[in-house]
Chains A and B, each alone.
Chain A
Amino acid sequence: MQTINGQNNPILCVNGLKKGYNQMEVLKGISFTVEEGDLVSIIGPSGCGKSTLLRCLNCLEILDEGEMEVAGVRISRRHSEPIPRNFSQLAHNLRQKVGMVFQQFNLFPHMTIRENVAIAPRVVLKLPEEEVQERARELLRKVGLEDRMEYYPSQLSGGQQQRAAIARALAMKPRLMLYDEPTSSLDPELVEEVLQVMRNLDAEGMTQIIVTHEMKFARDASDYIIFMDEGQIVEISDEDEIFLNPKDERTRKFLNRWIKE
């Protein structure tokens, strides 16, 4: 297992994780650890498996082989072993503690923003209604949408929608947030407002893993960066280190454009 400096308080450990579709292996043995409070960026060329990795971490996909422990929930599977019987229960437990934000926002279009944020605390956590509403208002204020609470997703800009999606994920009070290319489908001028929300969360000590193409954000905000290629982690590095002095040839090639900047 590759280790990262310190490793006092790991919230996420992945060891030898493999995942394939049909005959094609997408993840070829991934191992890394994330500590509480870290902001980690995962970068790499298209099709390198970074989104699949994120989906495995949230149990939207089930790993084929390997082990992972996320926010205290441990899931492991040996080679060609059947899916564990209690997988859906484990996945359910895990998701209570992990929030996920999607590239396409995936807000519920038939609900207002406020309802989008309120639904999970209400039906999953079964909190009393006053508390549900209080939490929804507070979170929407936090992402700067307090004046848009009664709007439907289709009435908002992409940036506003993505901020609402972050608020929705936060409503479960997760210990870890996963972002799958959160700014990729946004117009360039809307990217910054979403990144700012993530910076604020980082400042509050939230643990965040972000699959992104925003190299500047990755470089400026991340505690460290994971570079993936062809289903493997090529390099894990401190942000400046990887940009200034990439150890691997593939990293150098991928980052060439940004290094020049």
Chain B
Amino acid sequence: MRTFLSIIPWFCFPLLYLTCLWDAVWAEDRGNGKEENPPILRWAAATDSNVPFAFYNEKNELIGFEVDLIKAIAAEMGRKPIFVPNDWDGLIPGLGRGLYDLVICGIEITPEKEQEVAFSDPYYVTFEQYVNKKGSENIQSLEDLSGKTVGTLTQTAALAMLQRTPGVKVKIYTQEINAYKDVANGRIDGVLLDFPIAKYFAYPNPLLQFSGPQFGQLLYGIAMRKEDKALQQEVNAALRKVIQSGKIRDILSYWGLWTPTIAAAFGLPEEPSVPATGYDEFLTKYAEKPTFLDWIERYVNYGPLILQGTLVTLHVSILGMILAILLGFTLALIRVYGPEPLKWLVTLYVEIIRGTPLLVQLLFLFYGLPNIGIKLSPLLAGIIGLGLNYAAYEAENYRAGLLAIPRGQMEAAQALGMSQLQALYYVIIPQSFRLVLPPVTNDFISLLKDSSLVSMVTLLDLTGVYNRIATQTFDYFGTGIVIAVIYLLIGLPFVRLARSTEEKLAGAKKGQNKNFVLIPVATMGYLFNKRK
């Protein structure tokens, strides 16, 4: 028992130290931009499934027309742009939470969204483009889509349009590439999405065709907090300069997105100013069929990223589990031996935690708590979220373990003059600890897998890395296998530990005849406590 307890600090302190370090970097990183030189402009975008706005190329560099645009704007403002990744669904909450100053991610300016955030002037004007299978009928209006199944992405103007049109069956995708794939293979009739997306994914595809007129008018704006009026003015002034100098024409031409619509909106010449190199490079890359060697090379290039994700997953899981064990243990002791009102509170805690989804708890910790002034770093939110959640389950494990120890053990210890605390420490806890070792080990394996949810609070763990790589390479299959293997490898030692302890307990049970608890416990004691 003592030898086991004494190894916990060896795990604990370096990891706690790392957490502090990480949080310090994080806190410094997001410090007030005004005081630094040059001042920092923190901007966010969702990079998964975000071509041609902001995405990673095969060299893991962030590129896209919005990346170039925000760099140009930041240069006009005299600020240094720093990119903060987030999920599409978390972009606006993260803005409110103060994780960054602005969001540029193809967000359409709509009256509903203006309730939540302040927008800059539009930096791009476009429309929704309907795409269907080559050779199928050309539609004239949205009403023609009645009775058809049409795909689109969540939280888009296209989705709102389709929902307003009677008779349309809407299918919502998270990856535009999958939506277009389903049109090509006939699963759905068509896809309605913003023109830039259609231009990149549908236009070059010989199986697909643009169909019908331009629908609606979309104005993309940069989102900021409503109270940041000064920033809004600053951004607008910079954007005006970028437009007037013709810089925006260069950027959009490079990405193949300079259209008559946008030219008219900004009062600039219709023809592109530079060749569409960015667009062409993307198409070349996209059309390439990677050989096996390319495939290997790609994962070697992604090695550092995968390693980083693995470390984050391990870090969050191990610290989360240590927190869960320590807290769960305390909760169990209170529940079995504590005074009445405390017992009641602990029971309430356990029931609430076990009755609500871990994801909700994580989102609440990360995005909810700042409302009452508690701002946790993503890493800390992940560790605390997993720790608090699993503590409830560990508490139940330990409670069962404590209750499995015969009452006579406590009585014998007390009869020897030990206080209740001494009896717990020397007699009850060491015995119950061995009983609960197999379930606790099993829980650690589940925790390891549940840690994938921390990717929802902007942490780039293994699952986050999976998403990142898959959306860059469009290879969910190969990447999935690589990531799954890493999860398996991490979990393997714990699976083995759980199995061997279970076997030892089971083996000890077979040979016994009298007391079904004491003998396995004694055997474990023999194995774990060979003192002198």
Report A's interface with B, CB cutoff 8 A.
58, 60, 92, 95-96, 98-100, 102, 104, 106-112, 115, 119-120, 123-125, 152-154, 165, 168-169, 171-172
Residues of B within 8 A of A102 (CB): 408, 411-412
Q: B430 interface residue, CB < 8 Å from A?
A: yes
With A102-B408, A106-B411, A111-B529 known to touch, is A95 a contact of B417 (CB < 8 Å)? yes
Q: How far is the CB of B419 from chain A (nearest CB, A)?
A: 7
Inter-subunit contact A96/B414 (CB<8 Å): no
With A99-B415, A124-B417 known to touch, is A106 a contact of B519 (CB < 8 Å)? no
Report B's interface with A, CB cutoff 8 A.
1, 406, 408-409, 411-419, 422, 426-427, 430-431, 434, 512, 518-519, 521-526, 528-529, 531
Inter-subunit contact A106/B529 (CB<8 Å): no
Cα A110 to Cα B437 in complex, Å, equals 15
Q: How far is the CB of B63 from chain A (nearest CB, A)?
A: 62
Q: How far is the CB of A158 from chain B (nearest CB, A)?
A: 9
Inter-subunit contact A119/B415 (CB<8 Å): no
Residues of B within 8 A of A95 (CB): 414-417
With A60-B411, A108-B427, A154-B519 known to touch, is A120 a contact of B417 (CB < 8 Å)? yes
Inter-subunit contact B414/A110 (CB<8 Å): no
Residues of B within 8 A of A172 (CB): 416-417
Say which residue of A99, A107, A115, A165 sits within 8 Å of B531 (CB atoms): A115
Chain B: which residue is nearest A103 at the CB level? Answer: B408
Say which residue of B427, B434, B525 sits within 8 Å of A152 (CB atoms): B525
Inter-subunit contact A119/B426 (CB<8 Å): yes
Inter-subunit contact B415/A123 (CB<8 Å): no
Cα A104 to Cα B431 in complex, Å, equals 17
Interface-centre pick from A96, A99, A124 (highest chain B CB count, 10 A): A124
Say which residue of A106, A110, A119, A120 sits within 8 Å of B434 (CB atoms): A110
Residues of B within 8 A of A124 (CB): 416-418, 422
Say which residue of A115, A120, A152, A154 sits within 8 Å of B416 (CB atoms): A120
Say which residue of B412, B417, B434 sits within 8 Å of A92 (CB atoms): B417
Say which residue of B406, B411, B416, B526 sits within 8 Å of A119 (CB atoms): B416
Chain A: which residue is nearest B518 at the CB level? Answer: A109
With A60-B414, A124-B417 known to touch, is A110 a contact of B430 (CB < 8 Å)? yes
For the complex of A and B, list the 3 residue pairs with the smallest distance between their C-beta atoms, beginning with the closest: A110-B525, A106-B412, A109-B522
Inter-subunit contact A120/B431 (CB<8 Å): no
Residues of A within 8 A of B430 (CB): 110
Residues of A within 8 A of B406 (CB): 104, 106
Inter-subunit contact A100/B415 (CB<8 Å): yes
Cα A217 to Cα B512 in complex, Å, equals 31
Inter-subunit contact A104/B417 (CB<8 Å): no
Cα A132 to Cα B411 in complex, Å, equals 22
Say which residue of A106, A112, A154 sits within 8 Å of B409 (CB atoms): A106
Inter-subunit contact B415/A169 (CB<8 Å): yes
Say which residue of B415, B419, B426, B434 sits within 8 Å of A60 (CB atoms): B415
Inter-subunit contact A120/B418 (CB<8 Å): yes
With A60-B411, A106-B412 known to touch, is A96 a contact of B519 (CB < 8 Å)? no
With A109-B525, A110-B529, A115-B531 known to touch, is A123 a contact of B414 (CB < 8 Å)? no
Residues of B within 8 A of A100 (CB): 412, 415
Cα A154 to Cα B431 in complex, Å, equals 14
Cα A168 to Cα B417 in complex, Å, equals 12
Cα A60 to Cα B411 in complex, Å, equals 7
Residues of B within 8 A of A99 (CB): 415
Inter-subunit contact B408/A106 (CB<8 Å): yes
Chain B: which residue is nearest A95 at the CB level? Answer: B417
Residues of A within 8 A of B426 (CB): 108, 119, 123
Interface-centre pick from B406, B426, B431, B434 (highest chain A CB count, 10 A): B426
Inter-subunit contact B525/A111 (CB<8 Å): yes
Cα A125 to Cα B416 in complex, Å, equals 10
With A96-B417, A169-B416 known to touch, is A109 a contact of B408 (CB < 8 Å)? no
Q: How far is the CB of A97 from chain B (nearest CB, A)?
A: 9
Chain A: which residue is nearest B415 at the CB level? Answer: A100
Cα A124 to Cα B422 in complex, Å, equals 9
Residues of B within 8 A of A108 (CB): 409, 412-413, 426-427, 431
Q: How far is the CB of B243 from chain A (nearest CB, A)?
A: 77
Residues of B within 8 A of A109 (CB): 431, 518-519, 521-522, 525
Say which residue of A58, A107, A152, A168 sits within 8 Å of B526 (CB atoms): A152
Q: What are 13 A-B contacts with C-beta separation under 8 Å?
A: A92-B417, A95-B414, A95-B415, A95-B417, A99-B415, A102-B411, A104-B408, A110-B430, A119-B416, A120-B417, A153-B518, A154-B512, A154-B522
Residues of A within 8 A of B524 (CB): 110
Interface-centre pick from B408, B412, B418 (highest chain A CB count, 10 A): B412
Residues of A within 8 A of B431 (CB): 108-110
